[in-house]
Amino acid sequence: MKYNNIEYTECDEVYPPAEDTFLLIDNLEVKEDEEVLEIGTGTGIVSIAASYTAKNVTCVDINPHAVKCAEKNIELNNRNNINVFESDLFENIDLKYDLILFNTPYLPVTEEEHDSSDDYSKAWDGGLDGRQVIDKFIEQVGEYLKNSGRVQLIQSSLSNNNKTIEYLNNHGFNAKISASEHQFFEDITLITAKKIE
């Protein structure tokens, strides 16, 4: 399969690239010589897109199947400035980055639907209000950004965009919706936030 100049393979147990993935790729704000981190890389194609401009890219996923899938797609595109490994959010991260990307698990999921043993569902399961992972990410992300670093995250109007912007602003960022796309019963939104020095 192909998106723009990126070839990729979809893998079992890994969230396939969809409208939210492409919205992030199409609006990436990567500058030359920057160090980029992607949380929840899935197939790796967002990191691959970023790697054409960035100095280097680190990408992580909680799902071990996604790590293998991303490795396969990185090799398929002959990218040698991407490092990929398993991590639950920032659990195994110890550096600071210029830009952090995250296509968040943003769908509200009932307790009956939630399955903590299912690696695949972790890509979209955002807990009861769709904010379980988003809020945890915002609480931690500032520690892993360089001064005046930036965050670009994807979420849905179903998980309260205004709350995310307010929460980011309260955690030392200047945040705004920088792109959105209407899908069926929701708006997929890209929120870009700059760390205030």
Query: For residue 36, is pLDDT > 80?
Result: yes
Q: Is 65 helix (H, G, I), strand (E, B) or coil?
A: helix
Residues of the domain holding 180: 2-195
Q: At 24, which CATH number?
A: 3.40.50.150
pLDDT digits (tens, 9 = 90+) for 100-158: 999 998 666 766 665 666 666 666 556 667 688 999 999 999 999 999 899 999 998 88
Tokens 């979809």 locate to: 10
Exposure b/e, 99-138, CB count within 10 A at least 16 = b: bbbbbbbbbbbeeeeeeeeebebbbbbbbeebbbbbbebb
C-beta of residue 188 within 8 angstroms of C-beta of residue 19 = yes
Domain count within the chain: 1
Residue 195 confidence (pLDDT): 96
pLDDT digits (tens, 9 = 90+) for 40-80: 999 999 999 999 999 999 999 999 999 999 999 999 999 99
pLDDT digits (tens, 9 = 90+) for 86-99: 999 999 999 999 99
Residue 118 confidence (pLDDT): 66
Residue 34 confidence (pLDDT): 98
Average pLDDT over residues 153-178: 95
